[in-house]
Amino acid sequence: MGGKNGGNEKEQLLEKLNRICFREIIGIQNKIEADKNTLAEQADFTIEGAFSLFSASPIQKLSPSDIEIAMQNLGLSCTTRDARLIVARYDTDSDSRIGFWEFANIFLPIDVQARTRLETRPTLANKEISKETTRMIKRVLGSIVDAENMVEEIRRRVKQLTESLRGIFD
């Protein structure tokens, strides 16, 4: 892919990535955010309740294997690769595991008021989550897996370019 034709191919690939992938990712992220806001309004939804679907202990850090197993137990398709992508996205302290507050970021909406209501919501005594709330949790998780796989595919495609992206703009 050298010369002028190589530059055109790269420009076409970038346009395709922008047109198809990036816009689709933005659409998925907007859908995830809307779902997070709806989930935050569920009276029986707490971060603690969601975390309990993955671990019996709130101090446990979740490994990719824990995530894979819990998501499969919820009836979601989750591969080892999917679980690793989730950990890579939400692991802020780079220990290859997700602690409670890292996990919370999966579900906390960007909207400050909704986020604050959810963060300060008291833990439910019976910790029972309704079928509707469980369905919504699964929807958010499934969308996150889809988004992370899409981003990973973009990374893979961009990496396949033989010249740096910087050269396109020089």
The CATH number of the domain where 87 resides is what?
1.10.238.10
Cα angle vertex 143, ends 142, 149, to 5°?
90
Integer Cα distance of 2 and 25 in angstroms: 30
pLDDT band (50, 70, 90) for residue 127: low
Integer Cα distance of 39 and 44 in angstroms: 9
Name residue 154's amino acid.
Answer: I
pLDDT of residue 15: 76
- In the chain, the number of structural domains is 1
Task: Give the tokens for residue 104.
Answer: 């919370």
Pick 160 or 82 by higher pLDDT.
Answer: 82
What is the reported pTM?
A: 0.80
Q: By residue range, what is the domain housing residue 136?
A: 3-169
pLDDT digits (tens, 9 = 90+) for 6-23: 567 777 777 777 777 777
Question: Does 102 have pLDDT greater than 80?
Answer: yes
